[in-house]
Amino acid sequence: MIGRVRGVVVQRAPGTVVLEAGGLGYEIAITPRGLSELPPLGEEAVMHTHLHVREDQQALFGFPSEAERDIFRVLLGASGVGPKLAMAIIATLPPAELRRAVGADDVSALEAVPGVGKRTAQKLILELRPRLELGDGELPGAASGLAEVRAALETLGFGGPEIREALAGIATEGSTEDVLQEALRALGKA
C-alpha cells in the first residue's frame, strides 16, 4: 500500500495532481477541494493516499488529511460504493458534514451528491451509521458502551431518532448502566 506521498507538485489538472517523489511521478486522483488546498507548482506537498487495486487497474486517491482518507475507506466498505462515488461524496460533503448528515438521517444532503438518488441515500445512511460512530472522536470503549445502550433502547421499543436525541442530551461518560439510566430519564421512562 502507498499510505502517504510527500513530493513536489509538478502537474495539476481537474481531478488529479502529480507529485514527484524519489524520481517518480505519482498521479493522484483528488477532490476539487483537496486540489485547492495544495501549494502551487514547484512546492512540496504531502498527500494521504489510498491505493485502489482492481484486476485491470491501479489508482491512487489522495486526501489532504488522514480523516478524509479514513472516511473514503469507510465509504468503500458500503455496498455499491466504488472509488468514484466515494470521491463524489467526499467532494460534496466534508467528513464532519457527512457524519452530521448520516447521524441526522438527512437524505437530502446525500441526494446532493451526483449519482446518489433517494434510495441510495437511504441505504448509505443505514450502512454508514454504525461505521462512522468510531470516527467522531469517541474512544473505542465508549463507543462499544454506547452501542450497548442503543441496543438496549431499541429492545425497549425506541426508534433511532429518539435514541440519538436522548444520547445527545446527556453525558455519555460512566458505566453502561449509568448511561442507560440517564437515557431512559431523558426519554421520560425511568
Q: Which amino acid is at 45?
A: A
| pLDDT band at 101; cut points 50, 70, 90 | confident
Radius of gyration of the chain (CA): 20
pLDDT digits (tens, 9 = 90+) for 132-144: 853 434 333 444 5
Determine the length of the chain.
Answer: 190
Residue ranges and CATH numbers for the domains of the chain are: 4-63 (2.40.50.140), 66-135 (1.10.150.20), 139-186 (no CATH)
Contacts of 164 (CB under 8 A, 6+ apart): 103, 104
Higher pLDDT, 157 or 111: 111
Mean pLDDT, range 39-53, rounded to an integer: 95
Mean pLDDT, range 47-69, rounded to an integer: 92
